Structure 1
Amino acid sequence: MSTKTKLRAATVGGTADDVEAAFYEALQLGDVDALMACWADEDEVFCVHPGGPRLVGTVAIRGAFEQMFAKGAIHATPARVRKVESLASAVHNVLERIEVLTAEGPRHAFVLATNVYHKTAEGWRMVAHHASPGTVQAPDEADEKPQVLH
């Protein structure tokens, strides 16, 4: 899918997968307008960044991303997506690989994120993004096996 197609997917419909691709592309480009096109225009949408407060509503979410993008784009690449989908909603749990530039060169951090999408009158849109710190090092293949708590 081309860049133009991915960004358009967030504005005219597409699937939850298309909107997710557009969201991560907007992060990498530092494009707040393209990123906000992925979000539903609803009062109760929310976003939680690692270690941050819960942001409710598109105004608060836009403000937070504008502050983040003022420092540069966010080089986040989603991997190991787990999905729960229905006709009108989709929940994606992803491992985000974040590239951080340091004096010693690029380093990678990992963030666990849950993205929730609803099918709205405008098409699929993000209604929640909740990210929390992941592992400090690259997770190994053992993380791929299902874990049972009880």
Structure 2
Amino acid sequence: MTDPVRAGANPERAVLSVNSRFYAAFEAGDLDAMEEVWVSRGHAVCIHPGWSPVVGVSAVRRSWAVVMANTPYIQFILTDVSVSVLGDVASVTCTENVLAAGEGSPTEGFAGGKAVTTNVFRRSTDGWRLWIHHASPVLSGEESDRDGE
């Protein structure tokens, strides 16, 4: 797929396009497509909800293989999307509204949840690539109330 930054699109649009490709790859369980949106060398970082940081391109790829192997279905509805570009670095923050099936889901139906996410992108000769992904679960009101006691 052509990176919009090479097609002359504005940087914000190009970054949002790569961000969309990231979620499309996750929803499709397509590890090759996921690899295409990430930096191909250097220091990549991925923090899945509830995980310790995964550091390094190979380790990040392996983590996505594990996540995808254990996620038969997932769909994201992104809200509160905000993009910021400063030179060759950009960030997208958003709320992931998640619908998923898998271990721990009800036997008939789907589990849902929310995560707040920051995706940091770096521009190189390959175009914009995901450099850092950090997703943190949003606690429900009941869980938040218990934590405050």
Q: State TM-score, norm by structure 2.
A: 0.78
Q: After alignment, is 77-86 or 10-19 more displaced?
A: 10-19
Task: Give 1:111's aligned amino acid.
Answer: A
CA–CA distance in 1 between the matches of 2:67 and 2:115? Answer: 16
CA change 1:82–1:136 in 2 (3 A) is same
Q: How many residues align?
A: 130
1:77 offset after TM fit, Å?
Answer: 2.9
1:11 offset after TM fit, Å?
Answer: 9.9
CA–CA distance in 2 between the matches of 1:29 and 1:115? Answer: 19
Alignment RMSD: 2.1
CA–CA distance in 1 between the matches of 2:138 and 2:94? Answer: 10
Deviations 1:94-113 (A, max 9, x none): 10011123225223200111
Q: Identity of aligned pairs, percent?
A: 28
> 2:110 aligned with 1:111, yes or no?
no
CA–CA distance in 2 between the matches of 1:85 and 1:11? Answer: 15
Question: Which residues of structure 2 form unaligned runs of 5+?
Answer: 8-13, 142-149
Question: Which residues of structure 1 form unaligned runs of 5+?
Answer: 1-7, 138-150
Q: After alignment, is 96-105 or 59-68 more displaced?
A: 96-105
Conserved? CA contact 1:46–1:61, under 8 Å: yes
> 2:57 aligned with 1:58, yes or no?
yes
Deviations 1:56-84 (A, max 9, x none): 11111111111111122432232211222
